[in-house]
Structure 1
Amino acid sequence: MRRASVILPLLGSLIFFGVGCISFSSNGSSSVSGEGGVFKSSDRGDSWVQKVAIPTVGDEVRSISKVDVVALAQDPQVADAVYIGTADDGLFYTYDGGESWQQPAQVSNGRVSSVAVSPKNKCIVFAAYGNRLIRTEDCSRTWEVVYLDPRQERSLTSVQVDRADPNQIWVSTDGGDVLRSSDGGRSWTSVQTLKGPVVELALNAADGRRIMAATKGDGLWRSDDSGATWKYLSEAHKKEFSGSTELVTDVAAGVSDPATVIVASRYGLIRSRDFGDTWESVPMLTPPKSTTVYALAVDPKDSNYVYYGTATTFYSTSNGGVNWIPKTMPTTRTTTALMVDGMNSSVLYMGVTKFK
């Protein structure tokens, strides 16, 4: 599939001023009690500790324990620098591995669906913030809008930064749009509009020209030439694995093994070892279409280590799904974001959400 590209004009930079002071939305997320926020494991998910503290002055105690987390991202250069996107409470970040959290006042409410950190500059961070892509170049002191979808009802769903060339930025929307910037976000090209909302983008770690887009109901698409042409990947597997194009919730791509991609859907888990050309079912303890996988993660150093969360259980495998170890969740909330530390595979982060 080919798509005529359109260069979007550069939007005037709308700068939010502030220096990392903490504010909260009106839903009471500053309360210290709660089972939400972030949990951290230092033993590959065998045990978990809630990490929600916010530094305050005096005796006041605050936390992110009632925050619903939908996105996790780690600085590729600094292991203890972690960012979370929330469903309603904006963006939080930690520079000490979750021991304390801070929030930029400019991003203190609303949904942040995805976060990406430049692999070459730890102070450059992108966040999908409603219908805007925002960027900081000074470690969250100030933020500016680098892309604004003119349709206010639309939301950005994923942002990816090329590991080799951080000027190459990709974003997707719930309107099916895929856009690319080749100049660090100063200008944008609309490279494709797919049939359904794009849930997630997966950028090949070894070749930034190759990108996969997972849609909510139309399956998977891939471009091998920076978005110039697109190939539909789901024709075969949607027949063999019924439900594999429905209710796609997460996509995890390998880093040390960049050809490996795992997709969570209504079917369960499917995996490709050739970046989407062929697919296989990943064996699970539950039958196909019997449970919903809300979050998924692959160890960047060893794609045989896979983790996922359902409404009540956390699962881990060290052999690509041959054997799974189920663990009771450390909270009554649902896992909606999972991340393996890129520098220490024993460390995992879990973000949770209270579904109404």
Structure 2
Amino acid sequence: MRFFYLGMKTELLIVKETANSYETTSHLKGMHPNRLAFDPQNEKCVYCTTNGDGLFKSEDGGESWNQIGQEDIHSSKVTAVAVDRNGVVYAGTEPSHLYYSEDIGETWNEFKEIQYLPSKENWRFPPRPETHFVRWITPSISNSNHMGVSIEAGAFIRTEDGGETWKDRPEDSPKDTHTLLAHPESSGRLYSASGDKGYA
């Protein structure tokens, strides 16, 4: 049996495949869900970001949802979420701040070093140049210390030591990475679909 999660403008739809048809239920009504992430250690544990209502978590595959991170994540516009192979959860916001939780979303800390990267002075979202946001978070599949993060727009940044230090965008890397993916059969490689460099 398969499930499909569809983030719509004002709700999250969960479509359940049955023997002869599909069943659809609506969740997070009136909100704007925009990113989903599943815990690889627990397929029933799902995280969903919203544009204005913060971050939500489900522990039953999407049947029920609870808001999390209100005390520690200092923006209601949560724009990216990911979970690494060890169950560490990462969340990005608008404006661009990056957080992590080592206790399945109960408490959060911030990777503050990214605020001092040289490229930050050029981070801006073209339709609203007064702001910018974390677009994509991609933990490594093979190395839990490695992670790539894209900022909309302005940078692809990365860490190779679990967030202790961060490397700013390489000179020839995309500034406008829309999607950043890893593949389990291509260790050490990231795939970027971007607005300024195409697909690499």
TM range (shorter): 0.7 to 0.9
Of the three residues 153, 158, 162, the one matched with 1:180 is 158
Distance 1:179 1:217 in 2: 16
1:145 and 2:110 matched: yes
User: Which segments of 5 or more consecutive residues in structure 2 lack a partner in the other structure?
Assistant: 1-8, 124-130
Change in 2 beyond 3 A, CA 1:219/1:48: farther
**Letter aligned with residue 96 of structure 1:** D
Post-superposition offset of 1:199:
0.7
Deviates most, 200-209 or 164-173: 200-209
Post-superposition offset of 1:144:
1.0
Q: Which residue of 2 aligns with 1:111?
A: 77
Distance 1:73 1:213 in 2: 19
**Letter aligned with residue 140 of structure 1:** G
- TM-score normalised by length of structure 2: 0.77
* 1:172-251 correspondence runs (5 A): 172-192=150-170, 194=173, 196-221=175-200
* 1:1-356 correspondence runs (5 A): 36-43=10-17, 47-52=22-27, 64-104=28-68, 105-106=70-71, 107=73, 109-120=75-86, 122=87, 124-130=88-94, 131-147=96-112, 148-149=114-115, 150-151=120-121, 153-192=131-170, 194=173, 196-221=175-200
Change in 2 beyond 3 A, CA 1:208/1:51: farther
Please give the secondary structure, in 2, of the residue aligned with 1:39.
strand
Deviations 1:55-81 (A, max 9, x none): xxxxxxxxx201111111111111110
Post-superposition offset of 1:108:
7.7
Distance 2:80 2:53 in 1: 13
**Letter aligned with residue 156 of structure 1:** V
Deviations 1:254-287 (A, max 9, x none): xxxxxxxxxxxxxxxxxxxxxxxxxxxxxxxxxx
Distance 2:36 2:155 in 1: 22
Distance 2:35 2:65 in 1: 15
- The answer to which structure, 1 or 2, has the higher relative contact order (CA under 8 A, 6+ apart) is 1
Post-superposition offset of 1:217:
4.4
User: Which segments of 5 or more consecutive residues in structure 1 lack a partner in the other structure?
Assistant: 1-34, 53-63, 222-356
Distance 1:96 1:108 in 2: 26
Post-superposition offset of 1:171:
0.4
Post-superposition offset of 1:204:
2.3
Distance 1:113 1:86 in 2: 7
Distance 1:173 1:102 in 2: 27
Percentage of pairs with the same residue: 25
Distance 2:174 2:145 in 1: 28
Distance 1:94 1:87 in 2: 18
Please give the secondary structure, in 2, of the residue aligned with 1:70.
strand
Distance 2:143 2:135 in 1: 21
Q: Contact 1:51–1:99 at 8 Å: present in 2 too? A: no
- TM-score normalised by length of structure 1: 0.45
Q: How many pairs were matched up?
A: 174
Post-superposition offset of 1:111:
2.2
Post-superposition offset of 1:206:
2.2
Distance 1:189 1:208 in 2: 19
Rg larger for? 1
Distance 1:88 1:214 in 2: 26
Deviates most, 92-101 or 186-195: 186-195
Deviations 1:277-310 (A, max 9, x none): xxxxxxxxxxxxxxxxxxxxxxxxxxxxxxxxxx
Q: Contact 1:51–1:98 at 8 Å: present in 2 too? A: no
Change in 2 beyond 3 A, CA 1:166/1:48: farther
